[in-house]
A and B are shown apart, each in its own frame.
Chain A
Amino acid sequence: MHAEPLSLIFLNAAIVNNFVLALFLGICPFLGVSGKKETAWNMGLATMFVMLVSSAAAYGINWLLTQLGLEFLRLICYIAVIASAVQLVEMFVKKTSPALFRSLGIFLPLITTNCAILGLALFQTSKEYDFVQSLVYALGAGVGFTLALMLMAGLREKLALARVPSVSQGAALSLMLAGLLSLAFMGFAGLGGGHG
């Protein structure tokens, strides 16, 4: 696993095993903030940033806890680090762009409970990636998340103008769309060289 080239890790995380469409991580923001392309883009960037920070921190924590033989505290430490990273992003966004802060709304603090981020930390630990590999993995996951969010937002912007039967409005329609997207992403299987 250590010999895995960086480009392959990136490709795997971003496309082949896309966090949203193949691993089902981060479905809540995927369905919640994919109404408009602009919001989706910003949400994607914020998530990617939190991913990078928490991935680096998780690497350090895991090293420390393994040294001390306290692996059972891993989960609690990870979630604490992620919560602080999200707090940081929240303060930054609030300061620099109040409009964006409003449009992201409740979903900004909810990045804490975005399973894509905790999932990323847990996966990189179980795959025993080194520091650089972890960062590339986080970057790939963030790109994949943003990609999925943007694709969905584009589709939903078009669909907002379409007439659909009233029973299929809202979440049911979004899930069907997500299913089709996921089907399309299955076509990439095998590109990244095995399940990763």
Chain B
Amino acid sequence: MPELLNPQEKLTPDTFLRGLWQENPVFVMLLGMCPVLAVTSTTLNAIAMGLATTFVLVCSSLLISLLRNWIPKQVRIASYIVIIATFVTIVDYAIQAISLELYAALGAFIQLIVVNCVILGRAEAYASKQRLHTTLVNSLGMGVGFTLALLALGTVREVLGNGTLLGIPLFGPDFQPWLVMILPPGGFFVLGVWLLLFNWLRQSKVRRAAQFSGAPVDAR
């Protein structure tokens, strides 16, 4: 982790953008896979889950960053978990109050935000070491990156599996929905295909860079 090397990171655009691409929690670091796969059968669920996770991530990172000099090192993980669980409880009750329908659709996965490794990972690797404003920007970037990843899965699965986008039918009445895409296996397949795509992009970038510098290209 680069932030371990420079104790107090300066606030740059990269602080935010890293979460979107370079260190995207889902596509690069493969964290928090459970909600990514479970709630992305429709776009709306994906957005709601992304927002809820972002809220918990930002709030708990801020509080942890604020308390970073007071939390003893030995009990830090337990303290982080209690802080995260508090915010998750808030979100849980808030969603219940806003829309019962959404609450039923997301099910246990709202409460399971507690064990989303993205949040604990941020707390441990970033928020517990950095100042308040960089933490805010960085966790916001991670949250947006996570939401985008959920959207990337949710839109593909909803369009293929149901023929709709946000509930609006896209194709004519003759469309035969690809049902398996909104069932559990579809989640694995779509995420697998996205990872394949990103691997391919990364490899072709490396290959291009090698061609420019005249270095031998790995034939694989």
Contacts and interface: CB of A to CB of B under 8 A. Distances in A.
Interface of A: 21-28, 31, 72, 75-76, 79-80, 83, 110, 112-115, 118-119, 122-123, 126, 166-173, 175-176, 178-180, 182-183, 186
B89 A24 contact: no
B144 interface: no
A22 B195 contact: no
6 contacts: A28-B117, A75-B85, A75-B88, A76-B85, A79-B114, A122-B111
Nearest to B27: A171
Contacts of B89: 72, 75-76
Interface string B186-207: 1111011101100110010000
Contact of B195 (A28, A75, A110, A172): A172
Given A27-B37, A113-B115, A76 B82 contact: yes
Contact of B33 (A31, A72, A126, A179): A31
A118 B112 contact: yes
A166 to B, nearest CB: 4
Interface of A is mostly: helix
A24 B38 contact: yes
Given A76-B89, A83-B78, A24 B199 contact: no
B216 interface: no
B81 interface: yes
B108 A122 contact: yes
B205 to A, nearest CB: 12
B93 interface: yes
Interface string B103-137: 00000100110111100100000000000000000
Interface stretch (B9-17, B60-68, B177-185): B177-185
B86 A27 contact: no
Nearest to B30: A171
Nearest to A174: B192
B85 A175 contact: no
Contact of B196 (A80, A167, A178): A167
Residue from B82, B93, B115, B195 having most chain A Cβ neighbours under 10 A: B115
A93 B35 CA distance: 30
Contacts of A83: 77-78, 81
B112 A115 contact: yes
A141 B90 CA distance: 28
A176 B120 contact: no
